[in-house]
Amino acid sequence: MFQIKVIAIGLKILGPDHVRAAIKDMRDAMNISKMLVGFDLVNEEDFNPPIKDFLALLFEEAKTGPLPLVFHAGESVDASNENLYDAVLLGTKRIGHGFNLAMHPHL
């Protein structure tokens, strides 16, 4: 026997309105299915808005009910990328990738 779990996503490149709608859709789906287990903000990290640009929206959404966050974070060549730190501070349940190439020059 196996189970399938789904992580809903919001595309950072499409902005706050898209992310807000994606969170609403995820919550609606979680009311009818146990397959949805979290919400992620995705897009290439070095050329798209960072997680911190969505903090106000995420905090606002968390007030209306549970918001299980999981993040792709750290897939970057920019040493100043703070997405890993932000993901941890937001209590993420999972971090996809979780490395920063700028911190590992031998890679």
Instruction: Report the distance separating Cα 80 and Cα 78, nearest Å.
Output: 5
- Mind listing the pLDDT tens digit for each residue in 41-54? 998 888 899 999 99
User: 71 with 41: CB under 8 angstroms?
Assistant: yes
Active site residues: 75, 97
Instruction: Report the distance separating Cα 66 and Cα 64, nearest Å.
Output: 7
Which residues, in sequence order, are CB contacts of 91 under 8 Å at separation 6+? 69
This prediction's pTM? 0.84
pLDDT value for 57: 96
Judged by DSSP in three states, 27 sits in helix
- Mind listing the pLDDT tens digit for each residue in 64-84? 988 999 988 878 878 788 888
